[in-house]
Every structure is written in C-alpha cells, then in structure tokens.
Amino acid sequence: MNSFLPVNNKDMLSRGWDEVDFVYITGDAYVDHPSFGAAIITRVLEKEGFKVAVLSQPDVHSTADFVQFGKPRLAYLVSGGNIDSMVAHYTVAKKRRSFDAYTAGGVTGKRPDRAVNVYTKAVKAIYPEVPVIIGGLEASLRRFAHYDYWDDAVRPSVLVDSGADLLIYGMGEKQIAEIAHRLDSGETVDTIHDIKGTVYTVDVRETPYTGVECPSLDNVRSSKTEYAKAARIQQDEQDHIRGRLIKQKHGKLMVVQNEPMPPLTTEELDEVYELPYMRTYHPMYEALGGVPGITEVEFSITHNRGCFGACNFCSIAFHQGRYVTSRSKESILREAKLLTESPDFKGYIHDVGGPTANFRAPSCEMQKEHGLCKGKKCLAPKPCKNLVADHSEYLDILRALRSLKGVKKVFIRSGIRYDYLLEDKNSSFLRELVEHHVSGQLRVAPEHCSAAVLDKMGKPHIEAYIEFSKRYFKYTDEVNKEQYLVPYLMSSHPGSTLNDAVELALFLKKNKIRPEQVQDFYPTPGTVSTAMYYTGLDPYTMEEVYCTKNPHEKALQRALLQYYAPENAALAEEALKKAKRYDLIGTDEKCLVRPRNGNIQKKNVKSYRKKKGRR
C-alpha cells in the first residue's frame, strides 16, 4: 500500500528504520503530487532504493526539527520550494504577502526569506561533515552571481552564499539519482565534479580548462556592461546539445556549471509521472485547512516539459530548458484513469498542460541534432521558417481523454501559444479547443501591444493576437457558445515608456478589453528581462533600454491599463498629462478619462492635434 514518506522521527521508526539516507528539506508544506518538485525528487530516490525523509518548513529558531531523524547517512537535500522564497513572500511592490498557497491554511511566515541559504546554514552548523546538496527553482535560478530585486544589489551564486557542497540546476531527476549512487558507493561530494546539470566550486587554481568563462562576481558588481555580457553567456549555454561548461570567478573560488543534463525521454518522463504519489497533501495539514496549492493541480495532468517560446521575462528556459519533451499518450491516459478513481473527482480534468500547453515536440527537426539556435527565438518576433507547427498528437490525446468513462470535461488552463497555433495549417485543434476545452474563458498572454516593448519581451507582435482573437470568436459563434478571451498584460517591462502605456490603453479601448488584473514586471533571478532591468542594456544588442524603477511612474503605467476604473481616474489623468496626451482627456468617445475638474486646457489639445497633423 502506498504511503507518504516519513515526516518525523515516529514515522521513520514505524518503518523499522534507525536512520535515513537523505533528509529532504523544503520550504513548502509536504504535498506528494507530481506538480511539486519535492515529491518527484523524493519518489525518484525511493525508487532507486534509498531511505528518504521529508522535513517540511522546519523551525529555523531551534535545532529540534533538523536533528529528529539523526544524521542522514548520505546527505541533506535542500529546496526553497516550488517557487523562490522571496517571490513567495513579497509582491512586486516589496510588500509582504498575506497568503501563501504552498503552506497549510495559506498562512505566511512558515518559511524564512532566502530559504535555501537559511536551511543550508542551519544543517551545516549541526552536522558540518554531512554533504548538503541544493536544488529546486530558488537554487537553480540563483546559480550564478545575480541581481536580487529585494536587496537591489548583485548577490553571489547561492552555492557560495549558502555554503552548500553541490547545486543541481534544472529538473534534477537524473542528477539526484547519479549523485545518490555515487555517494552510496563511497565517493565524497567534493570529488563529484563531472555530473551534467550540476554546479560546484573549486579553488581558482583548479579551474577546468574547458568551457567558457563569464565576467566575475566583482566585475558584474562594478560594471553593468559586464553583467549584461555574463547574462547572455549564461542564457546561451543552456542547450543540452551545444551548451558548454560555464565558469565564474567568486574571489578565490571558481563557480563551475557543468553542461546541461539532457532532458528526460518520453519513457523516462512516463516513469517519473507514474511513481506511487499519494497525489495530495499530507494528512497532518487537514486540521489546518489543507494546502491551497493543490487545488489547481490535483485533477490536472502535466504532459510536457521545456518551452521553446522562451519569453525574456520567464525563467522556464533557464530552468527547464527550451527543448520540449513529452509523455506518451498511454501514460497520460493511465493518469487520467487514476484521477477518475478518486472519490473527490467530479468528472472534470482541470488542465492537460505544462509550461506551454500546446507544445508536444521540439520546434524543428534541426534542433534534435544541433540544439536550439543561439541568440534566436523560434516564435518571435516572427515564427521561424523552419518551425513545425502540428497539434495532431495533442488533439488525439485530448479526444481520447474526453472519451474516458467518468470524464465530463477536459479543460486547458495552461498557457496557449496562439502564435504557434496560427502556424498550424489544420484548424481542427482551434475548433475543438473552442468547442470542448474552454471553461468560459481562455487565458492568453499578448502582454502588450507596442512592437518595441514586445521585442524586449521576446513576444510576437500584436497582429498575431488580433488574428487569433478573430478566429477564436468566429469558431465560438459557430458552436453557439458565449466564451471570452482573458488577456494577460504587463506594465513597466523594460522598454515600456509612458507613451507605450498610452498606446496599450488605446488598444484596449478600441478592442473593448477591460483587464481585471494587470501585472507589473517583477524582476526575478535568471531572466533576460531582469538583466535589462538592472543594467539598462539589452544583453543581446548591448543597446540601452528604458527601464522605469520609480514606483510612481510604475503606478501611472499600471493605471493607464485600467483607465476606466474610477479609483484610477486621478493617476490615469496625470499619466496622460505627463505624456502630453491632453486630447485623450475629455468627454469625447475617443477620450480615455474625463477631466476631474470638469474642463481641459483646450490650447493643449489644439497644439497636440496640430503637431500630430504635421507628422
């Protein structure tokens, strides 16, 4: 019978164990579901024959939680959780969040800021001789010297910062299995320097001769140009076929990132996703209200990994990679049947997705041998001529899921790349998406309408969204359904000026779009956009990029995207005046806001119109 892994000393002893091989420490509540990295890594180790305990959100003010399993035989494994602990704790305005989806009851304060650092230092103080291996998103994205938004400064690699012995970047299944067996065979952690997908440190005198060296910690701290150069090198070498070893000096230490680990094959993915997960949170959280983060994923299915879309503000390409791999139809159907057997299943599969729902394979044939193109994107600013857009396999899977006994509806809630969809000459997927897989609203991410801003985002130009929306509503009318598009929009992204925000507001008005939410750009570690934000440079062109860091200007841009909201009237009017768009303040149909004082300076409007007429 399946069961959760031990979470305390009592659980360990009840299994007849007097010690464990690994203690996995996580900043999240313990959820044994394949949407949680902790669940996957611990189940992989269990399958490999190791004894693993899960230490969830330990009290860092005492040693009691850390020592309850005794000294692990092989290592501590440390992760901040499913997301970076600083993102979990703070909004883009750096205000403390009031809700944590990955903690029981949604309460905050159960994990420390910079959880990887704090947990690592805690166990190193207790058992300095026990190896500590860090991984998960927080460690993966902070593996080099990186701009930290919350400190507004460049921090060193988290491997150096935390004092850990080894860092796993990427998804980690192959790395952790190999590390575990090598430690078990008697190798010491300080000699395990040849595993792909890992980062280690050595004395600079022992620096490997191979690979490429990026500017040092000192250099990227003192020069934003050097930081931009480092960011490009780090992004460019993340391909598992052509990517090279990367070195970055940190004082007397050299941080060495080995080449990326190849992604799991279809067979390997099937195996990982069919491990004996309990598929829910640990029962110890029931009295606390459960773990909110399970709600969206409990009856969802992950069918792919990787994303060749590679938006500049997204960290997926730096963590999972751009190369897309996917599970087999048979494995997905087996998981769906498992969902239907749950007493809580109501007939609705909430999602069949991944980083991008409608990717099932690499974007072209060439990359299977040569890797993805360095410095180029598959979809932006326009789709590559070598792109292969084919939804037939994904559609076949969705049709099979719809026909399963006990399944009423199969929804798609992960992101859809509509620009990729438009390249498919066969319209069957879009037609069936509209008819069968939308729960009233389809969320898509045009993000902006300004071509200049979209280029900095690495997104397609707005014409693709306009064309997609036409087709979407055409098919919606044909099947006689009332369904909507919900566009995700972002304000204050690098490259976005106040004039760009005005342009977006006009686009929204023209197309009768009233977004319920607008996201300010959030500079998180490991993205090209964050490098732009910090340096004011585009790492790929070294051209200057306008970046607003002033909170009030950010508020002005954000208010323009919701100009119609009464609470935004003052800010929207101020923004338009600052942009000298007096013609958009008034009572005419074309205006965005009414003047608060009941009149507008007519000479300014006349002046603007005259100037516009001369263009």
The 10 Å Cβ neighbour count of residue 409 is 15
Q: Is the predicted pLDDT of residue 322 greater than 50, yes or no?
A: yes
Rg (CA), the chain: 25
- Residue with tokens 């119609």, as numbered in its chain: 564
- Give percent of the chain with pLDDT exceeding 90: 95
Mean pLDDT for 186-203 is 98
Q: What tens digit of pLDDT does each residue of 131-174 get?
A: 999 999 999 999 999 999 999 999 999 999 999 999 999 999 99
Q: Which amino acid is at 457?
A: M
Between these two residues, 47 and 614, which has the higher pLDDT value? 47
Question: Per the structure block, which two tokens stand in for 23?
Answer: 């203690």
CA distance 51 to 483: 50
What local confidence, expressed as pLDDT, does residue 599 receive? 57
Mean pLDDT for 385-396 is 97
Mean pLDDT for 584-595 is 93
Q: Is the predicted pLDDT of residue 437 greater than 70, yes or no?
A: yes
**What residues contact 411, with CB distance under 8 A and at least 6 apart?**
348, 349, 350, 351, 437, 438, 439
Q: What tens digit of pLDDT does each residue of 274-313 get?
A: 999 999 999 999 999 999 999 989 999 999 999 999 999 9
Which is nearest to 136 in space by CA: 80, 77, 175?
A: 80
Mean pLDDT for 561-588 is 95
Residue 98: burial class (beta carbons within 10 Å; 0-12, 13-18, 19+): exposed
Q: Is the predicted pLDDT of residue 607 greater than 80, yes or no?
A: no
**pLDDT-derived band at 189, boundaries 50, 70, 90:** very high
Q: Is the predicted pLDDT of residue 241 greater than 60, yes or no?
A: yes
Mean pLDDT for 355-381 is 95
**pLDDT-derived band at 553, boundaries 50, 70, 90:** very high
Question: Per the structure block, which two tokens stand in for 478?
Answer: 């044909």
What local confidence, expressed as pLDDT, does residue 614 receive? 43
Buried b (16+ CB within 10 A) or exposed e, 599-615: ebeeeebeeeeeeeeee
Q: Is the predicted pLDDT of residue 609 greater than 90, yes or no?
A: no
What local confidence, expressed as pLDDT, does residue 600 receive? 53
| The total number of residues written for the chain in this structure | 615
CA distance 493 to 123: 39
**pLDDT-derived band at 597, boundaries 50, 70, 90:** confident
Q: What tens digit of pLDDT does each residue of 492-531 get?
A: 999 999 999 999 999 999 999 999 888 999 999 999 999 9
Q: What tens digit of pLDDT does each residue of 23-79 get?
A: 999 999 999 999 999 999 999 999 999 999 999 999 999 999 999 999 999 999 999
**pLDDT-derived band at 265, boundaries 50, 70, 90:** very high
**pLDDT-derived band at 610, boundaries 50, 70, 90:** low
| SS3 assignment for 247-275 | EEEECCEEEEECCCCCCCCHHHHHHHHCC
